[in-house]
Amino acid sequence: MQLDDHLYAVILAGGSGTRFWPLSRELYPKQMLSFLGPHSLFQETLLRLHGAIPATRTLIVTNVRQAFDLRSQAASIDSGYRFLEEPESKNTAPAIGLAAHALQLQDPEAIMAVMPSDHWVKDRSRFLQLLQGALEPARRGLLVTFGIRPTRPETGFGYVQVEQAAPRGPDRSPAGSPSDRLLPVRRFVEKPDGETARRFLEEGAYYWNSGIFVWKAEVILQEIERYLPQLSRLLAEVRASLGTAAEAAQLTRAYRHMEAISIDYGVMERKADSVVLLEADVGWHDLGSWSALDEVCERDPAGNIASGNLYDLGSRNSILLAGTRLLATVGLEGMVVVDTEDATLVCPKEHSQRVREIAEGLKRQGREEQAIHRTVHRPWGQYTVLEKGEGYKIKRIVVNPGARLSLQLHRRRSEHWVVLSGVARVTIAGRSFELQPHQSSFVPIGTPHRLENPGTIPLQIIEAQIGDYVEEDDIERMDDQYGREVVRPPETPPPLSA
Amino acid sequence: MQLDDHLYAVILAGGSGTRFWPLSRELYPKQMLSFLGPHSLFQETLLRLHGAIPATRTLIVTNVRQAFDLRSQAASIDSGYRFLEEPESKNTAPAIGLAAHALQLQDPEAIMAVMPSDHWVKDRSRFLQLLQGALEPARRGLLVTFGIRPTRPETGFGYVQVEQAAPRGPDRSPAGSPSDRLLPVRRFVEKPDGETARRFLEEGAYYWNSGIFVWKAEVILQEIERYLPQLSRLLAEVRASLGTAAEAAQLTRAYRHMEAISIDYGVMERKADSVVLLEADVGWHDLGSWSALDEVCERDPAGNIASGNLYDLGSRNSILLAGTRLLATVGLEGMVVVDTEDATLVCPKEHSQRVREIAEGLKRQGREEQAIHRTVHRPWGQYTVLEKGEGYKIKRIVVNPGARLSLQLHRRRSEHWVVLSGVARVTIAGRSFELQPHQSSFVPIGTPHRLENPGTIPLQIIEAQIGDYVEEDDIERMDDQYGREVVRPPETPPPLSA
């Protein structure tokens, strides 16, 4: 069922998750993880809308540092998705405002359904029914928010108080219109303390704020103008550049001055009139910590959620996610154990909210395990750091068929390449040649070089970097097909042969 | 204090531990681990005797597969230790019998103090005092066993029943002779069930069998002849070869026919007369499982024993042994978490006896993580497998100064060597040359080659193996300075240039 022609999806996919560390990393956040099935939460969000809102009317707002991975994930579903890349994360108000401008430029009547990319929705058809039900009030200029009826005195969510709660009980007759459950909103409330949350639960006129909104682009821009005038001005300045070659530079300039603020705090909490709530009885979960998996995943007969290279003796009610390394567990009860290539988490379920403290603590210490995985995705393929030691780093590099790395040089390291499989075309100091498996090549310090895969299967090589400094920032790109920053080397540039 | 000139130490170091997996491996057992300080349990055993029994009168009996690592560990204390290498592990009776022959050949009056290499003894001077006290009865032909007064109804040990228990309480006046506590033994008892163990504890005339014995070599050989005639015959056959070039081949032949049997079961349990027990009040622990560390290691203020690359939030009373990878733990209580390069264990302390089930289960599955670490020691240095994939294996190899690998070839793989640090002398197909850091070399399939370190600092190289089969057994050695098996290649052999 295709929904209204003026309805656009705005997927907020810029979050940098800390709660699912070590599976999530700053640059590989929760929405990119696929622990619930073959698709990531981000992909599930796209699939939820598939057939109802076409990819060409779906705008994904993300951080420039995560865009490559998300574009890859989106492309496996449909090639038509549109992306807006924020230069920095400034919370939801700038992202939503930017999306509203982009949509309204194209379609002055645009209605936008804003939603996070890292939540779980069980009942897709009900969700689409609610979107349909939100169209009419949105068209009338109302701000529609999806509210979740609380089941516990949760202190981790914002709440929405309505004038009067909807009657409890089933109201799911296929014919019944969801707009019957449209409730006038009295106010948005920040995350409460425990006592307040218990009171909200008792009083009954409070809903969890799901972060899903439906409104006209024009209307939310008016609200931003009213409540967030500085943001409004900055957005107005970049509007004309959206979709043009100047977009990235303009956004970089504007975002530098932007305040990081959520749409809830910046607009919704300050606004009383013309906000309505739809009770979203869709089987929603925010997946706020590892223990949430218990509520959305199937468990085995012992109550475990288990995967990967696991050797378990008699554990129960535990979340045991092994990777390729061996994880051996004995007699665990109610534990979370998550193993990745470079880091392992062990935590009782009741403490799984504290995992973000670990991620934050590691970040303060500047530790890589917080930000990236041992395997890093790049536009041309991926690399895995096999070992880093004093004066060397060893990587396995996979170059996709037809892809090529930038023409680059390093000032402090030499590189050896040994082809494991596939065919490499190598350019070193202007000379190009092909390498087959078992063959190798050497890139001296300071020598311009380029690696590409001219073949039809992935190219796999081992790279041994040797030098007194082997960090990723020792790179000068002279030519790059993925639009990354390029510098001219200070000396005479070599001929660009590729 | 040097003990009697006829007293020899026999250290049984052939055990293949499973209880401290994943730190211990089949080929890197508990006695090689140094989790209690700078020295391994094996080294602690040697140091306990240091100055009392010289290295030249200390005989270490071990398995040929573990001998290299133990020799290295022993050499860091004294170069004079003697080794007997068993071709297979056949429990303690063959090892003790073999040692008795070796000693008695050299000194017909030899008294041997037999002891395991993987136990913990707190009070060294008391231990030496007890050894001194055991000399006189051993000289008279008695079999002296060290007994530990039980503190709990342990079912994991054998027991020794004495005619009458020693009086309880302190008896530690420096002048008091330990032989005052020499107790006639009524019988040795196999590991009891729980009820029996409780009865033993109540009755009070039962001691734990520590596996430490003092006796004349001549006497234990007579006992073996009496109770284990087949073993006695096989040992008599190899006796003449001990210490000669024929020893290894003779032992291989004899051990093939030997029954695996402990000295306790084979001799001590069948014998009633002329056995005496010394109460060994030395602060003894068998270190039977991870939870034993609580009794012998110092804990931090939260009750934890913690080490390595650990990020902990509020855990208590836990054993948290991280390695070089990051281990993050939150709010654990009474847990054991041990992380190594290729395997992680998570287990509540009360289940730590079951760790051996994991090691055994992995062995049944033929998994490498049971047998070896990712880093493997060799006579010439060590190697670490960085990654193994379809058609390739990547190793970092460290060659000790002056050491060289065998001249060898591989039928199914090529090898690339990239020097990270140090200097390599490489011989490939008869041609020798040196490689400096940043330089590399290639060994085609089927080509004889050799790697050596002519320098004075360790040589570090990356080896990329590429081929359809990259297991360790694809090796034909043509010349080896460490006496490993050498074959002549079927084709025309190349000149042996190194």
Does A357 contact B at CB distance below 8 Å? yes
Q: Do B420 and A389 touch (CB under 8 A)?
A: yes
CB-nearest to A313 from B358, B396, B460 is B358
Residues 5-44 of A with CB under 8 A from B: 21-22
Helix (H, G, I), strand (E, B) or coil at B220: helix
Instruction: Report the candidate in A388, A396, A390, A393 with the shortest Cα–Cα distance to residue A422.
Output: A396
Token pair recorded at residue A93: 């108000």
CB-nearest to A387 from B332, B358, B386 is B386
Task: Give chain B positions within 8 Å (CB) of A344.
Answer: 325-328, 339, 344
Specify the pLDDT at position A492: 43
Q: How many CB pairs under 8 A join A and B?
A: 181
Q: Do A330 and B337 touch (CB under 8 A)?
A: no
Same fold yes or no, A7-285 and A375-479: no
Task: Give chain A positions within 8 Å (CB) of B330.
Answer: 345-348, 351-352, 354-355, 357-358
* Pairing status of strand B431-435 against strand B424-428: antiparallel
Residues 240-279 of B with CB under 8 A from A: none
The ipTM is 0.85
**Nearest residue in A to B320, CA atom:** A346
Per-domain residue ranges for chain A?
A: 7-285, 290-356, 375-479
Task: Give chain B positions within 8 Å (CB) of A464.
Answer: 418, 420, 440, 462
Helix (H, G, I), strand (E, B) or coil at B85: strand
Amino acid at B104: Q
Q: Report the greatest alpha carbon distance in chain A.
A: 76
Q: Do A394 and B391 touch (CB under 8 A)?
A: no
Residues 113-152 of B with CB under 8 A from A: none
Of the residues A372, A418, A436, A439, the best mutation for testing chain B's interface (the one with the most B CB atoms within 10 Å of its CB) is A418
Residues 321-340 of A with CB under 8 A from B: 325-333, 335, 337, 339
Helices of type H across A107-216: 124-139, 194-203
Calculate the dihedral angle through the C-alpha atoms of A201, A204, A210, A213, rounding to the nearest 10 degrees.
-160
Residues 391-420 of A with CB under 8 A from B: 391-392, 394, 396, 414, 416, 418, 420
Amino acid at B87: P
Q: How close is the nearest chain A Cα to the Cα of B40, in Å?
A: 25
From first to last of its 498 residues, chain B has per-residue pLDDT tens of 788 899 999 999 987 778 999 999 988 899 999 877 889 999 999 999 999 999 999 999 999 888 888 998 999 999 999 999 999 999 999 999 999 999 999 999 999 999 999 999 999 999 999 999 999 999 999 999 999 999 999 998 999 999 987 666 555 444 445 555 789 999 999 999 999 999 999 998 999 999 999 999 999 999 999 999 999 999 999 999 998 999 999 999 999 999 999 999 999 998 868 999 999 999 999 998 999 999 889 999 999 999 999 999 999 999 999 999 999 999 999 999 999 999 999 999 999 999 999 999 999 999 888 888 888 888 899 999 998 888 999 999 999 999 999 999 999 999 999 999 999 999 999 999 999 998 999 999 999 999 999 999 999 999 999 999 988 889 999 888 877 777 654 444 344 433
Does A423 contact B at CB distance below 8 Å? no
Q: Do B326 and A369 touch (CB under 8 A)?
A: yes
From first to last of its 498 residues, chain A has per-residue pLDDT tens of 788 899 999 999 987 778 999 999 988 899 999 877 889 999 999 999 999 999 999 999 999 888 888 998 999 999 999 999 999 999 999 999 999 999 999 999 999 999 999 999 999 999 999 999 999 999 999 999 999 999 999 998 999 999 987 666 555 444 445 555 789 999 999 999 999 999 999 998 999 999 999 999 999 999 999 999 999 999 999 999 998 999 999 999 999 999 999 999 999 998 868 999 999 999 999 998 999 999 889 999 999 999 999 999 999 999 999 999 999 999 999 999 999 999 999 999 999 999 999 999 999 999 888 888 888 888 899 999 998 888 999 999 999 999 999 999 999 999 999 999 999 999 999 999 999 998 999 999 999 999 999 999 999 999 999 999 988 889 999 888 877 777 654 444 344 433
The residues with which B11 forms a beta bridge, in sequence order, are B60, B115
Radius of gyration of chain B (CA): 25
Helix (H, G, I), strand (E, B) or coil at A388: strand
Does B204 contact A at CB distance below 8 Å? no
Angle at CA of residue A415, ends A412 and A419, nearest 5°: 165
Q: What does the alpha-carbon distance between residue A449 and residue A440 come to, in Å, rounded to a whole number?
A: 14
Q: Do B462 and A392 touch (CB under 8 A)?
A: yes
B375-479: CATH number: 2.60.120.10
For domain A7-285, say whether CATH 3.40.720.10 is its number.
no
Half-sphere exposure of B264 (CA within 13 A, CB side): 18
Does A436 contact B at CB distance below 8 Å? no
